[in-house]
Amino acid sequence: MNQELKKEIEKFKIWSKNYSEIPESERLGEWECLYDDWDILGDLFIEFIETITHVKWSEEDVKLVLYLVARDNECETFIDEISEKQPNSLELLANKSFEFGEKDAKWQIATRLDKLENKEVAKLLLEKFMNDDNEYVRRRASIKMGEL
């Protein structure tokens, strides 16, 4: 991940901490879209997805991608970009989301697993999401499993 995107993510994290005393995980609505430089963050993220293949992502890159996907849970632009431009990265993101992902990243990943070439892998991952601690993740994974 380039330094410019990392710097912008850090700026967003600082803004987020100052935005509200309510922890991010408990906030409702589209609060993250009030960040003045959200479009800059989005453009840098899309550039990253378009230029660096997921096989070259570091562990830190994966954590930051999951962080951003979780923050973009209203518009789902980031996960759509990933699904379109690097669909096979969804397997990596799904597996890592079980390790350190947030619910808002998990359900978005689960709903895109049909983009994987290997549908059997998609089904196995969906089964794991269907056993997640979060009810919404389980529900969205169950719906996608029915579609597959």
* Any domain includes 138: yes
Residue 130 resides in a domain:
yes
Residues in contact with 61: Cβ distance below 8 Å, sequence separation at least 6, in sequence order: 1, 52
- Is 127's pLDDT higher than 80? yes
Owning domain of residue 102: 3-17+30-147
pTM: 0.93
What's the pLDDT at 2? Answer: 92
**Residues 74, 25, 13, CA angle at the centre, nearest 5°?**
85
Q: Is residue 58 part of a domain?
A: yes
Average pLDDT along the chain: 94
Mean pLDDT computed over 89-105 = 95
> At 19, is the pLDDT very low, low, confident or very high (cuts 50, 70, 90)?
confident
- Whether 55 maps to a domain, the answer reads yes
Provide the pLDDT for residue 32.
Answer: 85
**pLDDT exceeds cutoff 80 at 28:** no
24 within some domain? no
Task: Specify the number of domains making up the chain.
Answer: 1
* 25 in a structural domain: no
> How far is Cα 64 from Cα 7, in angstroms, rounded to an integer?
12
> How far is it, in rounded angstroms, from Cα 4 to Cα 46?
13
Model confidence at 61, pLDDT cuts 50, 70, 90, reads very high
